[in-house]
Structure formats: C-alpha cells, structure tokens
Structure 1
Amino acid sequence: MAVPSDLSEFAGVPAAQARRAPGAVALEFDGAALGYAEFARACEHVAGVLWTHWGVRPGDRVAWLGANHPGQLVLLFALARIGAALLPLNFRLAPAEWDAQVADCRPTRLVHDDAWADAALQLGARHTLPVHRAQALGEQIDAPPAPVHGTDASAVLLVYTSGTTGRPKAAVHTQGNLLANMRIAAQVQRMTPGDRVATMLPMFHVGGLCIQTLPALYAGATVILHPRFSPDSAFVCFERDRPTLTLQVPATMKALVDHPRWPGADLSSLRAMWAGSSLLPASLVRAVHARGVPVCNVYGATETGPFSIALGPEAAMDHVGSCGWPAPEVDVRLKDAKDGVGELLLRAPNVVSRYWPDIAACDADGWFHTGDLASLASDGSYTIVGRAKELIISGGENIHPAEIESVLGEHPAVLECAAFGVPDDAWGEAVAVAVVLREGQAADQDALAAFLAGRLARYKLPRRWLWVEALPKTALGKLQRGALAALRTSP
C-alpha cells in the first residue's frame, strides 16, 4: 500500500498526505473538492482558532451536532493537534439523550452544521454552552498555529454506546487507537491513493467514521462525503462519481436492493461493498453478489476501533454469513467455549482501554469482552451466532433493552415491561416490548407510544407490543428474555 512513511501520528495524517501529493483530492462534498494541501491547512487553521479564540486546551471536549460534513473531519484533526477530543452527537437521539451526554462529559463548545442549527442553539442554551456554526471555522480569523500537545495517549474521540445496564457510556478513543485502526483497516481493504471511497453512513458512529473514512485519508484516497444516506443519491454517486469502495449496513443495503433502479444501476466502479454488521441477511448479500460486487464484512464494536474481524473480497462469495478472520494486530479468543461456541474476546491496539471518565473497558489482561457469542470454523474464520449482552441491533443502531424499559416503566399504567428484538425484513431487528399493566389499566398502545416518543430516539421506539399478565422469570426472579422472543407479538 503506497502510503507515506511518516504517518506515525494521528494529528499529522493530513500534513503527511499534503507532502506526498498536495494536489490530490482528499474530500468531495456538495459539488466541491478539497485537496490534501487545503485540508491540511484547514486543520492547522482551525487548531489555531480553537486554541487562541476558543480557549480549548489539552483534555477538553468539543461536541459536534450535524450530518456528515467536512467540518467534522477538520475539527477532529484540529483537536488532535491540541490534545483535545471530539464528541460527535447522534442526531437521531432525542434532546433529552443529548442532554445526558453533554452533562456527562461536559464539552466546552458545540459546533453544528446548518441543518441542525436550531437544535444546537437550544441544546447550548440548556447547558450554557457556546455554540458555533461549522462554516465559521473556515473564516479568516487571525489565529497563530496552536502548539502541539497531542500524543498517542491523548483522548481524541468520545463515542457513546449502549452499556450493559442500559446507561450509555462513552468509549474513549486515543489518538493511538484511531491511528492503529486506520492502519489496520487500510491494510485489510487494500486501500491506495487511487481509491475513491463513498461515505454515506453517519460519522457520529465509529462505523461511518472509522471503517473507511479515516482509513481512506490515511491511505491518501479520496472520500466522497454524503451528508446522509438516501438510495437515490447513492445510485447517482455510483454512476457519476465512480467510487471503488463503499460501506453499508443491512438497512441501507435493503433500500438499495429494493429500489427500482437496482437492476439496471451501473455498479462497475465498485471493487467491493463493505458492510458493518455482525449479522448480514443472506438474501441481501446474494442480491449484491448477483450484480458482481463482493460483499465484505467487518465485525467490531464501538470500543474496538471497530475494525476487528474482516471478511475480504477473496472469500466473500463462499463465506456468506461469516465475519471472516482476525485483522492484522488483532488477537481473538473464545471464552468458555462449549460445543465450539463461546463469548468473543478481542485485544488489539485499536481497542479502547476505558469509558468516560475512567471506567475500565477491558479486563486485567487487556481483553475486551464483546458479549457476542461466536463459533470458530476449521479454516480459522468466525461467525457470530448470538449476543450475550442482549443488544437489539436495528438498522445498524445498537439499542439496549434497559434504555426502553427504564423510560416505559415510568408510565403510571405500566407495572413491568421488557424489551427485546424480533426479526424484521427492513431493519434486521425491530424493537418489541412486553407490558404488564397495573390493575385496572387498559391496554392503550397509542398512549404508551406517545409517552416514549418524546423521550427516546425514533429508532428505539417499539414496533411490536405484547400485553402479558406476567413476564417469564426464573425461580430466582430473573427475566427470561429469550422466552419473550419466542412469544407471538402483535403486528
């Protein structure tokens, strides 16, 4: 892979690529192209603004609220130079969920794009948080270069993920973690400066940011950045912009495959379509394979980079359903394996060591316990067969049942409730909830749905409701969630 030999620090990646090929295009966005030299200058300029005018210092956090935008990437590298960290907020969350994250990690500033200006101003007002428009970062402000304080050990990215108790926690990615993930992911995907990578998934997730976007910049490739996914814009991109790689999830793959343009769309520029999902519906994979494009897969978690196990193009056609083999520098083992199935444990330089502010993410030996159950084939490939942590994954979003249960349980009509995942053709899984009502209360799905709608993100809202007299429990009173999934749910 033709990458500069001096890519030894995360914050220095744009400058290293600018030295290699200053005229090469780093980003294409909204009809405009940004060369690597311009990208590197923007990162340096914004670092100066952050330091001189905003007072950002090592260890500080700056939040981002918006769709995919070049300003988010510039801000990330600028913060890295200072030794500060970016907190990308999931725009799909409810305002109350943003409030909880802002209160938890206390960013010093909030940056937004135009589409999320009103929400950002309201969020800033609720927390007395200075708010800035992304485009203002590029204005000509007298800002001398910021001093370089960032190191491999500096926190640079905080990404919230569902915790085992239902309370979201922020995985703290250091510059060393991100650099290792870029190196590993670029190597496995065989990225070169000649690649054109179409980023359509949201960069508030490590999937959209770290599986292809940052590795592409590490490789000196061009990132074709879309504000968000839509099937129509994706087909235009495939046919007009000629990407060589793209990343999708089952929900977006289904939107493409079901679209009227799918049978005749020109996909000839794609040498692979990668997917960020532990479980891929075989029907979707075969539909893409039928168009001559191998579907490769990445297994990982918010805490693991997430590039951990990968199914490359050479095995994609004959390993449908598998996650592939451990990526370079990644150690994998199965804990408490029985009949060839055990909990998947990962250890690698791209795995975070802590959650915010200082909660251990790994065990004493550095292993991250994924909570996923996997089988190991004789050829060394891994397949995910279940989830010990009971997460619901709907449309690429992780949802912990306790997040829903804790809110729904506050409704005066609800005595007990339990959320669980059920198969769904469009989203992979949909949220279902079993409800035990208090005596004298009537089953009113509309009222309970409205109660949740103002408190949870839309993708977390139940699509199936089940009214039961009691939740299935063990003799010790522990919920048998697996028994819930076997019950019939209402449409």
Structure 2
Amino acid sequence: MWDQGSDLASWIDRWAGHQPEALAVEFEGSRTNYEQLSRRIADVANWLHQHDVVPGDRVAWLGPNHPRVIDLLFACSRLGAIFLPLNSRLVVSEHSWILQDADPKILIAEETFYEHAQEAAEANIVHLLDDLIVGGTHSTAPRVGGPSDAVLLAYTSGTTGTPKGALLTQSAVAANALNGIHAHDLTSEDRILTFLPLFHVGGLNIQTLPALMTGASVLLHRTFEPGDWLKDVAEWQPTWSLFVPATLNAVSNHPLFDKTELSSLRGLMAGSSTIPEASTRPFFERGISVGQVYGATETAPIAIVMRIDQASERPKSCGKPATLCEIRIVDDNGEDVSPGEPGELWVRGPNILTEYWRNPEATSASITDGWFHTGDVGHSDPEGWIYVDDRKKDVVISGGENIYPAELENVLAESPLFVESTVIGVPDTHWGEIPVVVAVAADEVRPENDAVLNLFNNRIARFKHPRKVVWVDALPRNVMGKVLKHEVRKLIGGSDTTN
C-alpha cells in the first residue's frame, strides 16, 4: 500500500514537503500547518522515547478532543508503539478495567481528567497534557514503526457488556483512510469539521485521518454543541462533517438551522447501521445530501459506504462495500444467502482487526478465514445494495418468527410522541419472547398505550407488533449514539409499564 519502510507519520511528512504552509489542524483559534504538524509529531515521538516507550508499548490518552490526540497517534506510528484512546465518558471503574487489560506504559490526561486518571491507573504512569507541549527539538527517537506494526488499540463500546480491545495495524488504518478518501472523494482542497470524539474510531478514522492523509484541513471541536457547529459552518465553511443520528437531530432542531448558510458543504456523512429518514430529511430539504458509513470498531471502521450522490435514491440502504472491502451475507452455517434473504454480515479487507487484545477465544470466534463476523443481520437486493436489519443478538424470536427491532424502531422514529425510543425482546411464557417498546415521552403527559401500539397498524405485519410500552427518563447510549440494549433491559425492571 505504501513503502514497507514507512510509517503512518510519513504521510504527514510528505504533505509537509508538498505544502508546508497549508492548514492541517485548527483548534480553538490555534492553527497548525503541515510543516508544524510534522515537527510536532516528531517532538512528541521524542518525548515518548525519552519516557522509555519502545515498540509494542501502549500509550493511552484520556480527555476531550484535542490536537494532541492526532500527534500521539502519528508519534506512536514512528516508534512502533500502540495508541490507546480512552472513552472519556466512562467512570473510574470502567477505565480501571481497560487499563488493567491494556497495561499502558504511559497515560496522558487532559487537566480536567488528571485526578480521574490517577484514580483509575497506577499514578506513576499518568502525565498531564501540558507535559507534551514541546518544541524546538530535533527528534532522536528511532523511527522503527512500519505497516505491519499495531498502532491503534480501540476498545469496543460495550454494547454486549464487557469491552474488547480491537488491535489495528498501521496498514489497517491506512487502508481505512483510503476507504474514507474514496467514500468522500477527498482532495487537499477539502475542509473537515470534526466534533465526534476522537477516542472513537468513527470520529478519528472516517473523516479526520483520511483528510490529513490527503493534505486537507481539519477544524476540530473539543465537544459537540449544535450552535457552535452551525456558527463554524457559516464562518469556516467546511466541505464535510460527520454525524450520528442524534447529532443530526440536534442540529436540525436548533433555532439557527434555517438561518445558517450551508452551501459550502459538499455533503454530510452519518456513521450508523441504520439512519431514520426523519433525521436526514431536514438536510435533504436544504439541498445537503447525507451519506452513510457502516462499520465497526473492528473494521477501523469503514466497511460499507452510501455515497452522497446515491443516498436519496435508497434511503434505507447503508450502501455497497467500501473500496477495499468485501461483504458476505451468510446463514448460521456460514453459507451465502440469496438476495432478499437475511443473514449475518461478514467483512473482509486489509482494514479489519488483527486480533482482540489478549483474547484469543473472542478472536477465533469472530474471524473465519479472514472474514470478520459483525453480529449484524442484513440483506442485499438484486443490485447489490446492502441493508442492515438488526443486531443478530437483538432479533426477537416470537412464536418461531424472527422480528427485527430496527423495523419497528423506524416506525417509532417517525412519530412526534417520543424524544427517543427503542424496541427490545423480553421473555414470554407463551411466545418465547415478545417485542416491547421502551421510550422517552415527548410531553410530560405520556401518551395512551393505544396511541403507541396503533402506530404499527397497516405498517407492519400483525405478528411483529409490540405488546407492551415501557416509559423511561432516558435511553442509555454509547458515544456514537447507539442504544445500549443490555442496559435498557436492566432499566425496564423498575419502570412504568403499560400493557
């Protein structure tokens, strides 16, 4: 894919040679050009080397979005070390578990997370972000990293419980970047507005790294605030930005949405398995197409892409295989199914994980002959477009029939009765399982039971209809907006249920 003696940081070095003064990263008024970025990466690599980081060591980060996340990843690539971005929304006990599992040599913490980091980790490995403010030195660190070396240890979001560390090589990250470049037709003229967390492969790898590896510019937001996004779209004039359904809704519902000029945008991308049409419609109505990226932490994450020039034609499809990926849809025996038939999505390509960190059992259960088992159920149409139906583990089997909660959730998403909603299966003595709506009401006075259950009349086959409604104050979600259904199941025990 590139010279075997090169590392990921060499891509930045080459852009520093081609366009040294071009803007690479802007953050809170501070602008870094490609020459400065290349030098800063070298300085951070030297700092890590001086702190005894050697090939294979893990270097952890805990904090909000910051340009140092980018520096650390590329610096690790020079050293052959492994970057470990931690989800800043986890609690101390969750971080402690991950840190014990990953055993990093160093943990860099942003100031507001410093005490948290010291509590979660061994204190002697924790350093403040300010320690990394270096400059004016010439790196003496050996440059030993290469394409086959692991560079990113990304822990899964824990939608099934305990997170697992997906280990990605430099070659896998580069392959994913090429998938991203092709998905967006990126050039050095593009301007990317990034607000999704860089501790997640979505925020880091769908647009941000592909942009930097093609010489484009990135405006980085510390956190997401819809008003700030709209302000910078008007003033900074980005060409692309990445969303999840919840953030699309937050922007389109903001009072400044209709007043903000969006014409600089070539399009938007949304990272999700399924995206409700209600979330994308306000943007299409303003002439902004919303494409889609489907994938997983284990696929770095780009596996399937719906490009913006095709998105309006097939709003329920997540697209076709990314440039360097292959997709199979298989039955329980691992045999390919026919178009229209549901099966599990398997992904193969140079971008998938090498292994789960220190978990050979999970690795062997999830990878067969190079094919990663996503755990998602989907189908294709005769033209090869792929549709994600649901998580395999979330399929409700009621009276011997498979019911896909996502199909029911699409109906709920169109209703103004809810702030948010989901569907899960619960045990039933007669049917085995029944589908249940779990929702947050839009008004203080909750709707009547029939008002919710009647939404499915003439829309969904009767045997698929939910049998109950459970009201909660909020749905637990991970950082990418995905509902944590195992947490939802814990919630409904003590919640108000309507039969």
Q: Which of the five TM-score ranges fits, normalised by the shorter chain?
A: 0.7 to 0.9
1:201 paired with 2:208, answer: no
**2:352 aligns to what?**
351
Q: Paired residue for 2:439?
A: none
Q: Is 2:315 the partner of 1:311?
A: no
| CA displacement 1:199-249 (0-9 Å, x = unmatched) | 010011100000000000011000110011111111111111100000000
Kindly state the Cα deviation for residue 174 of structure 1 after the two structures are TM-superposed.
0.7
Maintained 8 Å contact 1:431/1:464: no
Inter-partner Cα distance in structure 2 for 1:388 and 1:120: 35
Change (3 A) 1:463 1:262: farther
Residue 381 of structure 1: aligned partner: 385
Q: 8 Å contact 1:344–1:370 — kept in the other structure?
A: yes
- CA distance in 2 between counterparts of 1:167 and 1:129 reads 26
Equivalent-residue separation in structure 2 for 1:367 and 1:262 (angstroms): 42
Shift of residue 258 of structure 1?
1.1
Query: What does residue 363 of structure 1 align with?
Result: 367
TM-fit CA distance, 1:123: 2.6
- Equivalent residue letter for 2:107: L
Change in 2 beyond 3 A, CA 1:21/1:144: closer
**Corresponding residue for 1:285?**
280
CA contact (8 A) 2:7 2:77 kept: no
Corresponding position: 1:258 with 2:253: yes
Answer yes or no: is the 8 Å Cα contact 1:279–1:321 preserved in 2: yes
State the 1:325 CA deviation: 0.9
Q: Cα distance 1:141–1:220, how it changes in 2: closer, same or farther (>3 A)?
A: closer
Residue 41 of structure 1 aligns to which amino acid in structure 2? R
Which sections of structure 2, spanning at least 5 residues, go unmatched? 332-336, 396-404, 429-471
**Pairing partner for 1:191 from 186, 191, 197:** 186
- For residues 267 and 7 of structure 1, the distance between their equivalents in structure 2, rounded to whole angstroms, comes to 43
**One-letter amino acid matched to 1:203:** L
Structure 1 counterpart of 2:67: 70
Identity of aligned residues (%): 38
Equivalent AA in structure 1 for residue 108 of structure 2: V
CA RMSD of aligned residues (A): 3.3
The structure-2 alpha-carbon separation of the partners of 1:335 and 1:70, relative to structure 1 and needing over 3 Å to count, comes to same
What's 1:417 paired with?
none
Alpha-carbon displacement from aligned partner over 1:48-69 (angstroms, at most 9, x marks no partner): 11112x1000000011001110
1:362-391 deviation per Cα after TM superposition (whole angstroms, max 9, x unaligned)? 534100011111111122110111110339
Tell me which amino acid in the other structure corresponds to 2:200. H
Contact 1:109 1:131 in 2 (8 A): yes
1:179 maps to 2:177: no
Alpha-carbon distance in structure 2 between the residues aligned to 1:490 and 1:149: 62
- CA shift, 1:434, in A, is 7.0
User: Is contact 2:93-2:120 (8 Å) kept?
Assistant: no
Report deviation, 1:284.
Answer: 1.3
SS in structure 2 of the partner of residue 176 of structure 1:
helix
Distance 1:74 1:253, change over 3 A: same
Quote the residue 2:150 is aligned against.
Answer: 155
Which of 2, 18, 21 is the equivalent residue of 1:20? 18
The answer on 1:245 being equivalent to 2:240 is yes
Residues matched between the structures, number: 424
Matched letter for residue 98 of structure 1: H
Secondary structure of residue in 2 paired with 1:252? helix
1:46/1:74 contact within 8 Å kept: yes
1:466, distance to aligned residue in structure 2 (A): 3.5
Q: Counterpart of 1:474?
A: none
In structure 2, what is the Cα distance between the partners aligned to 1:165 and 1:467? Answer: 19
Q: Deviations over 1:251-295 (max 9, x none)?
A: 100101111111222111111010001110111111110011000
CA contact (8 A) 1:464 1:489 kept: no
One-letter amino acid of the counterpart of residue 145, structure 1:
T
Aligned partner of residue 323 in structure 1, secondary structure: coil
Cα distance in structure 1, aligned partners of 2:194 and 2:493: 42
Name the SS of the counterpart of 1:23 in structure 2.
coil
Distance 1:326 1:7 in 2: 29
CA contact (8 A) 2:394 2:424 kept: no
TM-score by length of 2: 0.78
- Structure 2 residue aligned with 1:49, among 43, 47, 50? 47
- For the residue of structure 2 that corresponds to 1:103, the secondary structure is helix
Give the TM-score normalised by the residue count of structure 1: 0.79
**Contact 2:92-2:119 within 8 A present in 1 as well:** no
